[in-house]
Structure formats: C-alpha cells, structure tokens
Amino acid sequence: MRTIIAAIAFIVAASAALAQVPPLTGRVNDVAGVLSNADKSALERKLEAVEQMEGHPQVAVILPATMGGLDIERFANDVFHAWKLGQSGKDNGVLIVIAPKERKWRIEVGYGLEGAIPDGRAKTILSQDMDPHLKGGKTDFYGALDAAITSITADIAKEKTKAPSESSGEGSVILIIFGMAGLAFLVILIGGFFSSRRQLREEERQAEVQRRQSAAQLAMEDAARARSDYYSQPVQRRTYPSRSFATGAGVGAAAASTPKRKTSSDDYSSPTSSWGSSSSGSSDSSSSSSWGSSDSGSSFGGGGGDSGGGGASSGD
C-alpha cells in the first residue's frame, strides 16, 4: 500500500516537474524575453538553415524565465525529452539552454549527435563561444547563441562528411538483396510450374515454342518484371521498422519490441509517431522532415528524438 502511494506521489511529482517545461513555440524560445525581435529572427533563420542539412538535425534554443529550482542538467534533459528534438530514430537534436535568472547555460546533445559533439567538445564550445559573452554577469545572449550555433553547425557538418554512409542505408541494401533472392527463387518455382504445363501445349502449338524457348527464359523475364515492380515500391519495405510491427500487433499488446529507454507515457505516443513517420517519411531523403511546413518556419515540432544527458554546462 505504501508503495502504491509512493508510486502515485512519484508520478505526480514527475509530471509536475515535466509540467514546468515551457511549450515549444519555435526554434528560439525566449520565455525570459531577453532577445530583441531582430536578434530572435536572425537566430531562427540560422537554425532553419541547420535543419536543411542532411538528416534534418534540429537545433533549438530556450531561455527560460526560471528553471523552477531544477539543476540545469535536469531542466535541459526534461525540455529535450518533452520537445523530442531531432528526427525519430536518429535522435539528432541539440538544445541550447541559457537561464538568465539562474546564470547558467548548457548545451544538451541528443543521443544521435554524441559522436559529432562529444561532451569535451560541448565544453569547449561553452568556454570558447558562450562564456566570453556571458561570464561575469554579462548579458550578450545573442552573441553567445550566435557563436555557439555556428560551432555546432560546423561540427554536425564535419561529422556528416566523415561518415557519409548511414547504417540504416546498409541495412536496406541487405534487405533488398535478400528480397531479390527470395523473389528470384519464387519466380523460378512458379516459372517451372507454368513451363511444365506449357510444354504440353508446345506439342500442339509450335509457334509459341519459338517465342518462349525455355523455362529459364520465362523465368528471367518474370524476374526482370518482378524486379522492376519491386523497385517501383521499395519504400514500403524500408519503412517497416520493428516499432510499426509492434503497433500492428495492436490491441495494445504491442510494445514488447518498443525499444530501450522509453517511459510509460511514450507507449501512448509512439504508435502515433510511428504512423506519422511511416506515412510522411516514405521517401526518406526528400520529405521526411517531420513538420512539413519547415519552409514557413512558423511551426517547429518535436521530431521524436531523445537525449540521454550528453553535453556540458557552464555558469557564473
């Protein structure tokens, strides 16, 4: 009984803590109201450009009015988790936090960008790009953010050129090879069946023999046709992540394969996000940015990414 009460108390406390996360209003969330409009839109434009990079990494900024007594590490992680920065499955988001009231600042890096921006690098960005504008009571928030965003963008770009091939790409190549092998096998089986029937007819109709001489040729033709069919819709296969199987198994049973570090609240959101990604993400390279209207720049929504507390903090 006591455990139940403790559990409920904990959940209430946890949701209360999460409730302090300000709503995501755009790429630059100046809750404290310390940036001028011109500065804010300059930063927004800069962050929009980052998102056009390969893999659509998302960099967001928050200047909270208050962190509600939380550590900046905890606050940054809660905000990142709630906003789901970065694309689903790639976790390629970065959150820059400057708390003007608490005089702390932090760069929180999503799981997927820990390679591009390891903690040591985040610390360097803080000490080289942000501290000079902020340390000792300075309030050049724009200067700090601008410099940090430039460095972060460069780091992400560098990582991309270092490792151009994605593991998911390799995975789908293997899938295609296996799929082709399976198809070819099927086609040969079916072709063999039809050809044996056709051989009976061959005796009656000689003309047809000339056109389709052997079962092998038929098989080849079919295989080629099947292949072109296959290529016309390879996308469906690729967007069959384990999670949508779990969703498909449905009846709420699911989630057995819903991966790693997801908390219970995510169990309810993941089906919708997986539907979203399997429909909108159908062409992977072109449209997959999760919030369609990124050109207008007005809407900036969580892409489903998460962070595990990577990054570094600084402060006065």
Q: Which range touches another protein (CB under 8 A), out of 9-17, 20-28, 186-194, 229-237?
A: 9-17
115 DSSP 8-state letter: T
Q: Residue 10 or 275: which CB sits closer to another protein?
A: 10
Q: Which of 36, 45, 71, 196 binds another protein (CB under 8 A)?
A: 71
Q: Does 216 bind another protein (CB under 8 A)?
A: no
Q: Which range touches another protein (CB under 8 A), out of 46-54, 67-75, 143-151, 216-224?
A: 67-75
Q: Residue 120 or 137: which CB sits closer to another protein?
A: 120
Q: Which of 2, 4, 200, 228 binds another protein (CB under 8 A)?
A: 4
Q: Does 13 bind another protein (CB under 8 A)?
A: no
Residue corresponding to tokens 């033709």: 221
Q: Residue 232 or 264: which CB sits closer to another protein?
A: 264
Q: Does 77 bind another protein (CB under 8 A)?
A: yes
Write out the two tokens for 73: 């590490």
For 36-102, the DSSP string reads -HHHHHHHHHHHHHHHTSTT--EEEEE--S--TT--HHHHHHHHHHHHT-SBTTT--EEEEEEETTT
Q: Which range touches another protein (CB under 8 A), out of 37-45, 116-124, 206-214, 270-278?
A: 116-124
Q: Does 3 bind another protein (CB under 8 A)?
A: yes
Q: Does 285 bind another protein (CB under 8 A)?
A: no
Residue 119 burial by Cβ neighbours in a 10 Å radius (0-12, 13-18, 19+)? middle
Residue corresponding to tokens 């939380």: 70
Q: Residue 30 or 102: which CB sits closer to another protein?
A: 102
Q: Residue 182 or 259: which CB sits closer to another protein?
A: 259
3-state secondary structure of 310: strand
Q: Residue 119 or 146: which CB sits closer to another protein?
A: 119
Number of CB atoms found within 10 A of residue 243's CB: 22
In degrees rounded to 5, what are phi and psi of residue 108?
Answer: -105, 125
Instruction: Quote the least distance from Cβ 182 to another protein, whole Å.
Output: 30
Instruction: Quote the least distance from Cβ 95 to another protein, whole Å.
Output: 13
Under a CB-based contact definition with an 8 Å cutoff, are residues 245 and 257 in contact? yes
Q: Does 2 bind another protein (CB under 8 A)?
A: no
Q: Please list every residue from 245 through 284 that binds another protein, using CB under 8 A.
A: 251-256, 258-264
Instruction: Quote the least distance from Cβ 166 to another protein, whole Å.
Output: 22
Q: Which alpha helices (DSSP H) does 163-257 contain, by range?
A: 167-204, 206-211, 215-232, 235-238, 242-249
Instruction: Quote the least distance from Cβ 241 to another protein, whole Å.
Output: 17
Q: Does 312 bind another protein (CB under 8 A)?
A: yes
Q: Return the H-helix or E-strand segment holding 104.
A: strand 104-109
Under a CB-based contact definition with an 8 Å cutoff, are residues 88 and 284 in contact? no
Q: Does 5 bind another protein (CB under 8 A)?
A: no
Buried b (16+ CB within 10 A) or exposed e, 170-195: eebeeeeeeeeeebbeebbeebeeeb
Q: Which of 44, 48, 73, 202 binds another protein (CB under 8 A)?
A: 73
Torsion, CA 278, CA 280, CA 285, CA 289, rounded to 10: -120
Q: Does 151 bind another protein (CB under 8 A)?
A: no
Where does this chain bind another protein (CB under 8 A)? 3-4, 6-7, 10-11, 14, 71, 73-74, 77, 118-124, 251-256, 258-264, 307-312
